[in-house]
Chain A
């Protein structure tokens, strides 16, 4: 009886040592040398694994940071400049500052502004709806309102406004990871510079139809009238395919384009109220 226990213990001990030896030898033979800095960089990163940087996750981004000599093409939108400065510091490379960005929804086609022309009763997904037809309003470019952008947001930064049925971005939560930009089948959402004091101006429309057609389908559509372009002192506005676009790198936030827009398609965010502008908006509404 006692010999059985003895043999068992001895056999298992020997087996354990033999296997440990094999494991040790294999680990030595196939050792993958990894840069220890990858772990350091990864610990600095936010760990959201959102893919906003263009890499599969934070680990892949850390590997890329260590590999690349120049950090200018790499940016973690979630961590922002703060994290990138730490990363650059830990790797001993030059810091590259980027302006903070935020997602903006370029459509103001609420039910009031853009009447419904038909009724959609299919699967509630913008992507599915866009694959079937142009949408349930007269505008074939605008927001479909099923919230694909809301579903993909990892940061709780975008939500549907029940009164307008348009998505609204929470600028404090938004990390500009770009997931909503990719999810939107109509390419309405754009990443723009957050701007000084979070102030920004943009054309809230993506309709490329001629003025008359655009205006008929939506009251606040950009009609490509060139008035904003003429008003802009900084050449920041270009008009292509009947649609104005404000270059956020050139825009100095002077707000001259906002009151001249006949359809109120240009939106200003976070500016203190300016009397004449406010009055005009009330009048036209």
Chain B
């Protein structure tokens, strides 16, 4: 099986929720929808307090080039437009909507579950529709999808890659949608192929998700010959764009370049599904799939949750035991973020809620670097994390730039393997953002 060539680790995959079918999470009393759910400037609200909104109604418009529309995930009355803490405790403007009992959808949305195979729109209309429906990349970075599907002038895409690697331990939401909605994902991929004008599409899925490979390959080989399913050797961070492109095509994305520079566009499977819903069913992105998991309790679920649902209400409804829990992580254990405010709400890109006990989340005590070079072996970008960490602590910016700190993908493999428990990624991440700022401030040649 294929995989990327340098670095990588193989943590215990702990896919505990893999066999739990997707369940609809019931609506609460209210939702608070963040206006900053994508990379780039926050969206601007277009509704006012007291206004009645329907499910799927546009409530905030994209502002600026890299931005995405935001739609109401429920029908009800706008209660307030005010700052509310996000998962890391920053106050971000949110639109809070009180849920009513009617749950009306806006006109034009197809609510049936019937699979619509015919694609009627032309490429330009597809991209417009995706922008209108507020689709963002659901793999983690929340980059607006319509921008990714419109390559800058002079660059052309030759391949579309659908990322079904889901290399993070614990998370199973992508796996479940691949098993339960394989054909929708394939149609979503076809829509994006048409938008980009590319003839070929590859879906990369890790080998530990056999049923997903079978489900998608079974339909693709019969009905969609342009789409190829490629099984990959299970290895973290396979789902990183650059790693996935190298694993599937053998092409290396140069430093500071984007996948489009080697003629590739990468989209997540969940994004493909939401593109299908947007283009074929006129459904904006108001729901996403969240894995709720952890080793300390028996509750292992894959939920379909409306955007803006409070995280503490999910904990309450599922009756998760409070006692041995210590840390709640949004996303996976490798790249996810610890939630410091449980009153924060889910975003379009929330993929998992992982509950860790005090024992699991405890960091080991830091000791001196013993120069074992495990971090160098683990780094999928071929960097030297032990060196970057030293340079970062000494603020040696020029040396950091020379040693390519800007190429770090923040996968955390170095911190994971370090036998001295050095928080390598913490210091490297900070200097990476500093160096990137420095590089961007320089005039382009």
Contacts and interface: CB of A to CB of B under 8 A. Distances in A.
User: Is the pairing of A and B real?
Assistant: yes
Interface of A: 117-118, 121-123, 125, 127-128, 131-136, 140, 209, 213
Interface stretch (B88-96, B138-146, B272-280): B88-96
B88 A132 contact: yes
Contacts of A125: 426-427, 430
B337 A123 contact: no
Given A122-B363, A140-B90, A133 B423 contact: no
Interface of B: 83, 85, 88-91, 337-338, 340-341, 362-363, 423, 426-427, 429-430, 433
A209 B89 CA distance: 13
A210 to B, nearest CB: 8
Contact of A133 (B89, B91, B427, B430): B89
Leading 6 A-B pairs by shortest Cβ distance: A134-B89, A133-B88, A123-B426, A123-B423, A118-B340, A128-B426
Contacts of A121: 362-363
Contact of B89 (A122, A131, A140, A213): A140
A133 B85 CA distance: 11
Given A133-B340, A134-B90, A128 B427 contact: yes
A125 B393 CA distance: 10
Q: Which has the most chain A C-beta neighbours within 10 Å: B83, B91, B433?
A: B91
B330 to A, nearest CB: 11
A123 B83 CA distance: 29
Contacts of A209: 83, 91
Nearest to A133: B88
Nearest to A127: B430
Given A117-B340, A123-B423, A134 B429 contact: no
Contacts of A135: 89
B102 to A, nearest CB: 32
Nearest to B429: A131
Given A123-B423, A140-B89, A128 B340 contact: no
A99 B439 CA distance: 38
Contacts, number: 47
A134 B426 contact: no
Contacts of A122: 363, 423, 426
Majority SS of interface residues in chain B?
mixed
A219 to B, nearest CB: 19
Nearest to A185: B430
8 contacts: A118-B340, A123-B427, A128-B429, A131-B433, A132-B88, A133-B88, A136-B340, A213-B83
Q: Which of B362, B429, B430 gathers most chain A CB within 10 Å? A: B430
B426 A133 contact: no
Contacts of A131: 429-430, 433
Given A122-B426, A133-B338, A135-B89, 4 more contacts: A121-B363, A122-B423, A128-B423, A132-B337
Contacts of A213: 83, 91
Nearest to B434: A127
Contacts of B423: 122-123, 128
Given A123-B427, A140-B91, A134 B340 contact: yes
A94 to B, nearest CB: 36
B88 A128 contact: no
B60 to A, nearest CB: 21
A50 to B, nearest CB: 15
A118 B426 CA distance: 18
Contacts of B426: 122-123, 125, 128, 132
Contacts of A133: 88-90, 337-338, 340
Of B83, B88, B89, B363, most A-chain CB atoms within 10 Å: B89
A134 B91 CA distance: 9
A166 to B, nearest CB: 19
Contacts of B430: 125, 127-128, 131
Contacts of B340: 117-118, 133-134, 136
B237 to A, nearest CB: 19
Contacts of B433: 131
Contacts of B89: 133-135, 140
Contacts of B337: 132-133
Contacts of B338: 133
A276 to B, nearest CB: 37
Contacts of A117: 340-341
A199 to B, nearest CB: 35
B419 to A, nearest CB: 17
A125 B431 CA distance: 13
A247 B61 CA distance: 39
Contacts of A140: 85, 89-91
A125 B362 CA distance: 18
A118 B329 CA distance: 13
A128 B85 CA distance: 20
Contacts of B91: 140, 209, 213
